[in-house]
Amino acid sequence: MPQIPPAQIGAAFDEIATPALVIDLAAFERNLDTMADQARRLGVRLRPHGKTHKSPLIAANQIARGAVGICCQKVSEAEIFVAAGIADVLISNEVVGVAKVQRVASLARHAKIGVCADNAEAVQALAAAADKAGTVIEVLVEIDVGAGRCGVVPGPPAVALAQEIARHRSLRFAGLQSYYGTAQHRRSPQERCDAIARAADLTTETVHLLEEAGLPCRTIAGAGTGTYPLEAKSGVWNEIQPGSYIFMDADYAKNEPSPEAPAFEHALFVIATVMSLSADRAIVDAGHKALSNDSGFPAVFGRPEVPYSRPSDEHGTLSILGSSWRPNLGEKVLLIPGHCDPTVNLYDWYVGIRNLGSADAHVEALWPVAARGAVA
Amino acid sequence: MPQIPPAQIGAAFDEIATPALVIDLAAFERNLDTMADQARRLGVRLRPHGKTHKSPLIAANQIARGAVGICCQKVSEAEIFVAAGIADVLISNEVVGVAKVQRVASLARHAKIGVCADNAEAVQALAAAADKAGTVIEVLVEIDVGAGRCGVVPGPPAVALAQEIARHRSLRFAGLQSYYGTAQHRRSPQERCDAIARAADLTTETVHLLEEAGLPCRTIAGAGTGTYPLEAKSGVWNEIQPGSYIFMDADYAKNEPSPEAPAFEHALFVIATVMSLSADRAIVDAGHKALSNDSGFPAVFGRPEVPYSRPSDEHGTLSILGSSWRPNLGEKVLLIPGHCDPTVNLYDWYVGIRNLGSADAHVEALWPVAARGAVA
């Protein structure tokens, strides 16, 4: 069962039961606008990543601002987005297993569905399922341009796989998925630039070989929040897939800003409450079950001198000795999650706050994290 | 909304949609029996921790084997356990905030409810709420015996707080919560023994001061899976609160075993599927959203030579160069989570498997993780 919402619409900020996942609606809306504007200026299609927000309502907001559709990572996520009316969904990931490819093939009756592939056997399974369902699935060949995760080797192996896709009437070869995930978090602009330049060379070479083989790429997709201006300006990619820009997180805040990119604002927070006080520390009610600490601990909003540390399942420690701040028991604290995507996945509800930071801060929206837990 | 279950009852092991959270029912049942037997032999009350499993059904199994009730960490968890019929619930944690203490006071009408306190102001809020609700809340004074998290300083400060509790007709001073969380994971038996010996001294001193003040402790509670024989044999504690013993995890497996403790078995796994293959690696479909990696990465069951590494949100890397194992695409892998509690909190369903590891492995049970996401 979903948890009951942590507040009612109209409630004051202080009435929210903590820990809770909150959106600063004004900052969030500015982030949406900024990226939509960026895609227009850079001349690339925007297909934001739904793995960040897991919310069809947010996806619809992105599409209303010009996005061509959305990405997700899992079949179960795609099902939720399609059921909510999103008409164009790319699973930017491999799908393996008889039952899962059947689900993809069935879904393709109700929306335009794309998936990635890096293996001929997987392509054949997709084709068989789509044949049986009487549908057509768009397939991108994923190439490994440096991340060392999924993807075929760029160049001839990618061409061979595209030829395998093109052989099947129930599949449509759509182009390349060329995403360099780990490059998003390289701290200096130069490191990110070097990484994407190398990825661009590998992608370009593959695109040319595909053209020579009579397999032009309609879509060359990739890029995240940390590098998208580089992919867009390279002239190679024509579709970008940023996700985190809507919320930002403490890990992205550690990137040195790129001169070519506008700043996105922190718009996602976990509100926590001070539940225990000692001379040197305030214990808050948000630990591993309220914050995904895989990419570093959260930052305390507005109090950079107060580190969050030593999380356990339900607690976190704020060390207050280096600060003049002396919180009261019950005081609320805004934490910027270390990593937004897996933190969102811990909650059933977004609590949308209007006028965050002012005396009139109040709950304007409760949005379900509809694909929370959609991991399969 | 909860996710659809990853399999139907009766399905074969290979039909489970991955990633999924599975219980080896036979190992789980042996773990339940072993701890129930331990508590009887050691002469202490067993109040297992429900924060591990978040399942009233598992709690009922524990109580049927002799547990006196259960613990949990959050008011929202307590509400779910009480609504399911669990009659004796200790929130082994501080509860702060007007709305939350009201919820505790209301809950005390339907079950025996205990909470912990480490602050006089919080005690007064609990008393006011219970007064208003016309209920009685049991309160344990939490003392900090080394964990450096919540809890008052042992000795006179604990006595002062107990006196504050005893002053209120709507509260009942029940004793001490003396839990040394970080000691559970000290790797050598000697380190754990030393830590609990020190905690025992601090607890004993506090118990004597309370007796002198006319405040005997009916309950002296604490102890987890890593140290419970030490607390039980100390003669100080009379109620133990282990949680992880039902499942065990890769982090607990790194503890050198204590000669005085029986072994518990790994009974909780995440099933993952190999979704991409390269010469040096198999990529599985379970990353941060399927496994809480806060206490180390998962271990591959039966293949200790294959490390899991480099998780991203939806992927993990199995390095296969050091193994003779060459998995097939689509092959299923059992992962032992690094940390069971926050991993359980990622899933809506336990898939209970009978005959795991045999050709007849099949789904015998689907149990909701009823308090999944109950963080408030």
> How far is B118 from chain A, CA to nearest CA, in Å?
7
Q: Which residues sit opposite B331 in a β-bridge? A: none
Residue ranges of domains in chain B: 13-22+264-368, 87-242
Judged against a pLDDT cut of 90, whether residue B260 lies above it is answered with: no
Chain-chain contact of A312 with B76 (C-beta, under 8 angstroms)? no
Q: For the purposes of burial, counting CB atoms within 10 Å of the CB of B366, is it exposed (0-12), middle (13-18) or buried (19 or more)?
A: middle
Judging contacts by C-beta atoms under 8 Å, the chain A residues touching residue B278 are: 144
Q: Tell whether B170 lies on the interface with A, counting CB pairs under 8 A.
A: no
Closest-CA residue of B relative to A340 is: B313
Q: What's the CATH class of domain B87-242?
A: alpha beta
A-B CB pairs within 8 A amount to 175
pLDDT at B2: 87
| Residues A324-329, mean pLDDT to the nearest whole number | 97
- For B60-89, how does the pLDDT look when each residue is reduced to its tens digit (9 = 90+)? 999 999 999 999 999 999 999 999 999 999
Q: Tell whether A342 lies on the interface with B, counting CB pairs under 8 A.
A: yes
% chain B with pLDDT above 70 = 100
Are A331 and A3 spatial neighbours (Cβ–Cβ below 8 Å)? no
pLDDT at A344: 98
Judged against a pLDDT cut of 90, whether residue A258 lies above it is answered with: no
pLDDT band at residue A2 using 50, 70 and 90 as cut-offs: confident
- For A42-94, how does the pLDDT look when each residue is reduced to its tens digit (9 = 90+)? 999 999 999 999 999 999 999 999 999 999 999 999 999 999 999 999 999 99
Chain-chain contact of B341 with A310 (C-beta, under 8 angstroms)? no
The model carries a pTM of 0.97
Judging contacts by C-beta atoms under 8 Å, the chain A residues touching residue B337 are: none
Which ipTM score applies to this complex? 0.97
Window 351-370 of A: residues touching B by CB (8 A cutoff) are 368, 370
**Please, what is the average pLDDT of chain A?**
97
Burial A56-83 (b: 16+ CB within 10 A, else e): bebbbbbbebebbbbbbbbbbbbbbbbe
Closest-CA residue of B relative to A347 is: B373
> How far is B41 from chain A, CA to nearest CA, in Å?
30
Q: Tell whether B341 lies on the interface with A, counting CB pairs under 8 A.
A: yes
Q: For the purposes of burial, counting CB atoms within 10 Å of the CB of A212, is it exposed (0-12), middle (13-18) or buried (19 or more)?
A: exposed
- For A295-304, how does the pLDDT look when each residue is reduced to its tens digit (9 = 90+)? 999 999 999 9
Chain-chain contact of A375 with B289 (C-beta, under 8 angstroms)? yes
Name the CATH topology of B13-22+264-368. Answer: Lyase, Ornithine Decarboxylase; Chain A, domain 1 (2.40.37)
- For B188-206, how does the pLDDT look when each residue is reduced to its tens digit (9 = 90+)? 999 999 999 999 999 999 9
pLDDT at B259: 84
pLDDT at B19: 98
| Fold agreement (B13-22+264-368, B87-242) | no
Judged against a pLDDT cut of 80, whether residue B1 lies above it is answered with: no
Judged against a pLDDT cut of 90, whether residue B357 lies above it is answered with: yes
CB atoms within 10 A of CB B247: 30
| Residues A34-38, mean pLDDT to the nearest whole number | 98
pLDDT at B364: 98
pLDDT at B36: 98
Chain-chain contact of B2 with A6 (C-beta, under 8 angstroms)? no
- For B141-169, how does the pLDDT look when each residue is reduced to its tens digit (9 = 90+)? 999 999 999 999 999 999 999 999 999 99
pLDDT at A1: 77
Joined together, the tokens standing for residue A187 give 């701290």
> How far is A58 from chain B, CA to nearest CA, in Å?
17
- For B189-248, how does the pLDDT look when each residue is reduced to its tens digit (9 = 90+)? 999 999 999 999 999 999 999 999 999 999 999 999 999 999 999 999 999 999 999 999
What is the CB-side half-sphere exposure of residue B215 using CA atoms within 13 A?
A: 25
- For B277-303, how does the pLDDT look when each residue is reduced to its tens digit (9 = 90+)? 999 999 999 999 999 999 999 999 999
Are A345 and A50 spatial neighbours (Cβ–Cβ below 8 Å)? no
Strand, helix or coil at A165?
helix
Sign, Cα dihedral of A96, A100, A103, A107:
negative
Q: Tell whether A154 lies on the interface with B, counting CB pairs under 8 A.
A: no
- For A350-367, how does the pLDDT look when each residue is reduced to its tens digit (9 = 90+)? 999 999 999 999 999 999
Judged against a pLDDT cut of 90, whether residue A259 lies above it is answered with: no
% chain A with pLDDT above 90 = 98
Are A331 and A12 spatial neighbours (Cβ–Cβ below 8 Å)? no
| Residues A153-164, mean pLDDT to the nearest whole number | 98
Alpha-carbon distance of A152 to A223, in angstroms, equals 18
